[in-house]
Amino acid sequence: MDTGDIDRRPAKVLLDVRGLHVAYGKAEVVRDVSFDVRAGEFVVILGRNGAGKSTILHAISALIPKRAGTVTFDGRDLTAATPRETVQAGIVQVLEGHRVFHTLSVEDNLLIGTYAKAPRGDPTKLERIYALFPELAQRRSQMASRLSGGQQQILAVAQGVIGDPRLLVLDEPSGGLAPIVIDRILEVAAALCAEGLAILLVEQLVEKALRHAHWGYLVETGRIAVSAPAERLRDGELVRRVYLGGHAA
Ligand SMILES: Nc1ncnc2c1ncn2[C@@H]1O[C@H](COP(=O)(O)OP(=O)(O)O)[C@@H](O)[C@H]1O
Ligand SMILES: [Mg+2]
C-alpha cells in the first residue's frame, strides 16, 4: 500500500531506545518503551500529565537508573553511560522548569553551558547564541534573577544549545509561560533542526508542538501507544484518544 511521503523518515537512526523500563521503587512507570529519533528529525513525545514522559527523558540522559533496556546514540551504546558521558556524546537535555543560576549573569549562565566540552568555557560560541537569541544579547550582563520567567526559559534553552548538542532534548519548554515564549523557543528549535540538529521535544501544547515536528509518539501510562508522522497526528483523532478527558489542544 502506498502510504505517501509523510510516512518516510530519514534512514539514519541517531537515538535508539529499546525496551526501556524505569521504576521508582516498586512503581514501574515506564514499561517496555522503544522509539527512535532519526538524523535531522524533530520528534515530539505527547501524553497526559504523569504518563512518564519526563521519566523517559531522564533515563536517556542518565539522570535516573534504567531497570531494563538499551540506549544507543549514533551507534554507540550509552545504556550504562554517566550523565557527563551522555552530554559529551552529544545529548543535551533542557530540564523542565527553566532552571538557571539566579546569582550569575546571563553571559556566565551561557558560558556554563560550554563547560561540558571545554574546561573553561568557549567565549567564541557566545556570538552565535546572541544571534539566535537577540533578547539575551541585550541582557548579557544582567543577573539571571532579574529576567522574566519567559526570558529565563529562553536562557535555559540557549544554555543547552551553546553546548553544541547533536540531539537537543526539551522537556515542556512551555512550562506555564506566555504563549509567545513557547512560540519563540519552538521557532528557534525548528531553525536549528533545519541546520541539522535533531530535536526531541516533550510538550503539553500539542498543536504548537505538532506544527514543528516531523514525527510524534504518544505515551499512555508508561507505554508508547502511537507512533506516527506529525502530520497524521495533527488531525487530532489519535491525540484525542490518548488525551480523552484531558486537553488535546
Ligand atoms: N521521583 C519520583 N518518585 C516517585 N514517583 C515519581 C517520581 N517522578 C515521577 N514519578 C511518578 O512517575 C509517573 C510519571 O511521571 P513523569 O515521568 O514526570 O510524567 P510526565 O512527564 O509524563 O508528566 C507519575 O505517576 C509520577 O507521579
Ligand atoms: Mg514531565
For every residue of 223-236, DSSP letters joined together read EEEEEEEHHHHTTS
3-state helix, strand, coil in the chain (%, to 5): 35, 25, 35
Q: Please indicate whether residue 52, judged by its CB atom, sits closer than 6 Å to ligand 1.
A: yes
Closest CA to 212 of 236, 237, 185, 240: 185
Residue 62 lies in a domain: yes
Q: How far apart are CA 26 and CA 40, in angstroms?
A: 37
Residue 42 lies in a domain: yes
Mean pLDDT, the chain, rounded, equals 90
% of the chain with per-residue pLDDT over 70: 92
Q: Please indicate whether residue 55, judged by its CB atom, sits closer than 6 Å to ligand 1.
A: yes
pLDDT per residue as tens digits for the range 115-158: 666 655 566 789 999 999 999 999 999 999 999 999 999 999 99
Output the pLDDT for position 209.
Answer: 92
Mean pLDDT on 210-215: 96
Residue 112 lies in a domain: no
What separation in Å is there between the alpha carbon of 52 and the centre of ligand 1?
6
pLDDT per residue as tens digits for the range 4-43: 677 789 999 999 999 999 999 999 999 999 999 999 999 9
Residue 211 lies in a domain: yes
Output the pLDDT for position 234.
Answer: 87
Number of structural domains in the chain: 1
What separation in Å is there between the alpha carbon of 74 and the centre of ligand 1?
28
Output the pLDDT for position 216.
Answer: 96
Looking at ligand 1, which residue's alpha carbon is closest to its atom 24? Answer: 50
Q: Which atom of ligand 1 is nearest to the CA of 48?
A: 22
Residue 188 lies in a domain: no
Q: Which atom of ligand 1 is nearest to the CA of 64?
A: 1
Cell numbers found for residue 175: 512550562
Q: How far apart are CA 14 and CA 1, in angstroms?
A: 27
Question: Residue 4: which domain range?
Answer: 1-78+205-249
Mean pLDDT on 188-202: 96
Residue 53 lies in a domain: yes
Mean pLDDT on 193-217: 94
Q: What is the CATH number of the domain that holds 212?
A: 3.40.50.300
Q: How far apart are CA 60 and CA 30, in angstroms?
A: 12
Q: Is the pLDDT of residue 217 over 60?
A: yes
Q: How far apart are CA 20 and CA 242, in angstroms?
A: 20
- Please report which confidence band the pLDDT of residue 249 belongs to, taking 50, 70 and 90 as the band edges: very low
Output the pLDDT for position 112.
Answer: 84
Window from 63-72, 82-91, 92-101 with minimum mean pLDDT? 92-101
Give per-residue burial for 7-21: e unless 16+ CB within 10 Å, then b.
Answer: eebeeebbbbbeebb
With residue 187 as reference, give the H or E element that holds it. helix 179-194
In this predicted model, which residue has the larger pLDDT, 68 or 128?
A: 68
Looking at ligand 1, which residue's alpha carbon is closest to its atom 3? Answer: 24
- Please report which confidence band the pLDDT of residue 247 belongs to, taking 50, 70 and 90 as the band edges: very low
Closest CA to 192 of 105, 111, 140, 133: 133
Residue 39 lies in a domain: yes
Q: Is the pLDDT of residue 245 over 60?
A: no
What separation in Å is there between the alpha carbon of 178 and the centre of ligand 1?
25
Residue 37 lies in a domain: yes
**Residue 198 forms beta bridges with which residues?**
167
Residue 216 DSSP SS3:
strand
